[in-house]
Chains A and B, each alone.
Chain A
Amino acid sequence: MNKVSTILITLLGIVILSAMAAITFGPADINSSELISCLVGSCNNSIANVVIWQVRIPRVLVALVAGMGLAIAGAILQNTTRNPLADPYLFGIVSGAGLGATIANISLADNLTIALPLAAFLGALFSVIIVVFIAKVLQRMEQLLLAGVAVSFMLASITQFILYFGEPFATNRVIFWLMGSLARVEMSNFYVIGTVLLIAIITVIALHRQIDALLLGDESAASLGVDVDKLRLLMLGLCAALTATIVAYCGGIGFVGLMIPHIVRQLIGVTTLKLIVGSALIGAIFLIWVDVIARSSLPHAEIPIGIITSALGSIFFLFIMYRSRAIT
């Protein structure tokens, strides 16, 4: 067994252990023997049973798939644009989703269960279309990211404009949603995110050689028979779908897609197959534990998860800059 598979199997073990450990954290006082008896289905304490099966397990599972999905979306964007700083956030995908969710929240107060994720998804798709259109007009790949940042700010300003004039309750709801939280997730969210995640992973594994070919330049990839434009568009669409689904249920959780693939590149490798498998595993571990911090570090309140990931992310960003300065 080589080094890479050893690392991946170890990581898989840590994912499983982390998920199990994360179930033990929470405001309700449930001891370990109750926990085990509830998990195996012979629970005497009905409150503990509800807390474990309807609150903690869905939450940990959503953290797991959301962490995987955000990290994979970053990894795919980075490899297909050959830019290690590409991230769903910087591509405007999240602000697009935010705008969609804002409009849904303000205009359709009821029936948000279906409308909110759908609106977030449409918003994300909208922003990707604008970004790709701008990059196409400019004819420069390197400017895809700058176009993303510009679109991101534009959509965020529209969102804020709507919020400013919106009804206070809806505005509050959106502002908290934008900070990101796993407090209200349900098991059905896990199934939806999990399905999109599975489709994304299968597509990327199918096309891993094509994506790898891009790493040495569009010209080189085209000479190997890759339809570069089509592939990049497909991957952008996939990342938009994945990110939008996660953001729709969990709100804004930034920087996961930036940080995790960077760590995987150092630890495992840069080619697509290694990068997405590694990102999925480390992303899951990361978000499971960040969510544990979010719900257990303050005595009577939760910290929105997006605040923690953004704080960690910005420190990480500075760290990368410091290190690359040291190398050159």
Chain B
Amino acid sequence: MSTLINISGLSWRVKNKSILDNINFTVNKGEVIGIIGPNGAGKTSLLRCLTNQGDILSSTNVSGNVQLKKRPILQYSAKEIAQHFALVMQKNETIFALSVEDVMKMGLLPHKSLFSLDSDHDKAQIILALKKVGLADELHSHFNQLSGGEQQRVLIARALVQASQILVLDEPTNHLDVYYQHQVLQLVNKLNITVIMTVHDLNLASLYCQRLILLNHGELVCDGTPEEVLTPTQLSKIFGLPCQQSINTITGATQVSFYLNSDKKENNFVDTFDE
């Protein structure tokens, strides 16, 4: 397996708060990696550093090394980064009546020069990508009128048109109901490209990622297969709730469930609210 990304000693401090603290890991070609952890653990910040969004790595608050194909990512132009990484972010709102086709064409941008118009080949690529996500019929629909799941799929299709080797998704299943959560993640899983995504739902992460990276307070706590990362001791320490691990008899995936100690149940929450 060839190494695509190498992160060493990555830290991001703002005033006295550590957003990321000495993160080290590598990403190999073709892996589907889930970044998990509680709210504020630094998941989205890690994605920002990984792709140098807003030239964050040049900031004096950030130290450490991020290398893409053995070259520091700081040496890549914004356009080159867009040629390597396709991002699907959480917020994608527009008040204009953009069609699905208009959104898809944005994916062509990193490969286009100034003045360029769309070729027949571009249009064919757009149709092909929409077919892959099952939305070929929606080419002329308004993006805003699609369901949340369909919008996510259009953005994943846009990432395919972008033809980048690495797909980065920030909470792709946020605001989706159970059916669409599985649909979107299964789609991502079957694309056969390198995927790095933050996932809130641990069981979904376990089901669709080969490898999980667990963050807490900006530190990398554990990096390994879902079975290795989702251990009751580790999770109960981080999430503050007792936890049980099991194997789903149908999917064979490691699953976890949290519960409250019955004798302490009410006190725990009352205490939390009082603070």
Contact = CB atoms under 8 A, between A and B. Distances in A.
B82 A210 contact: no
A242 interface: no
Interface stretch (A171-179, A182-190, A220-228): A220-228
B109 A226 contact: yes
B82 A224 contact: yes
Which of A210, A212, A219, A225 has the most C-beta atoms of chain B within 10 angstroms of its own C-beta? A225
Given A209-B112, A270-B102, A225 B93 contact: no
Interface string B93-112: 11111110011011111101
Nearest to B168: A223
A216 interface: yes
A225 B79 contact: yes
Interface residues on B, range: 35 or more
B77 to A, nearest CB: 8
B194 to A, nearest CB: 16
Given A206-B115, A224-B82, A227-B78, A212 B105 contact: yes
Nearest to B143: A216
Interface stretch (B84-92, B178-186, B200-208, B235-243): B84-92
B152 interface: no
B242 to A, nearest CB: 37
Contacts of A220: 87, 89, 92, 106
Nearest to A210: B109
A38 to B, nearest CB: 40
A78 B78 CA distance: 25
A303 interface: no
A205 B115 contact: yes
A232 interface: no
B54 interface: yes
A315 to B, nearest CB: 23
B270 interface: no
A207 B109 CA distance: 10
Contact of B89 (A209, A217, A271): A217
Contacts of A247: none
Contact of A270 (B83, B86, B96, B116): B96
Contacts of A223: 51, 53, 82, 85-87, 89
A215 B94 contact: yes
A206 B114 contact: yes
Contacts of B95: 82, 84
B255 interface: no
Contact of A222 (B54, B94, B102): B54
B110 A219 contact: no
Contacts of B97: 265, 270
A79 B91 CA distance: 18
Contacts of A84: 95-96
Given A209-B109, A225-B78, A219 B114 contact: no
A225 B92 CA distance: 16
Contacts of A215: 94, 96, 98, 102
Interface in B42-85: 51, 53-54, 77-83, 85
B81 A225 contact: yes
A213 interface: yes
B114 A207 contact: yes
A226 B80 CA distance: 11
B173 interface: no
A327 to B, nearest CB: 12
A220 B79 CA distance: 13
Interface string B111-125: 010111000000000
Contacts of B89: 217, 219-220, 223
Interface in B163-177: none
Given A216-B103, A216-B106, A222-B78, A82 B96 contact: yes
A84 B97 CA distance: 11
A84 B96 CA distance: 8
Interface in B109-149: 109-110, 112, 114-116
B254 interface: no
Contacts of A219: 53, 89, 91
A224 to B, nearest CB: 5
B162 interface: yes
A206 B87 CA distance: 24
B59 to A, nearest CB: 15
B160 to A, nearest CB: 14
B28 to A, nearest CB: 23
A205 B116 CA distance: 9
Contacts of A270: 96-98, 102
Given A205-B115, A212-B102, A82 B94 contact: yes
Contacts of B112: 209
Nearest 7 pairs between A and B by C-beta? A225-B82, A223-B87, A225-B79, A206-B114, A225-B78, A270-B96, A224-B109
Given A217-B93, A220-B106, A269-B102, 11 more contacts: A82-B96, A210-B109, A212-B102, A213-B109, A215-B94, A216-B106, A220-B89, A222-B53, A223-B82, A225-B83, A270-B98
15 contacts: A205-B115, A212-B105, A215-B98, A216-B93, A219-B53, A222-B53, A222-B54, A223-B87, A224-B107, A225-B79, A225-B83, A225-B109, A270-B96, A270-B98, A271-B98
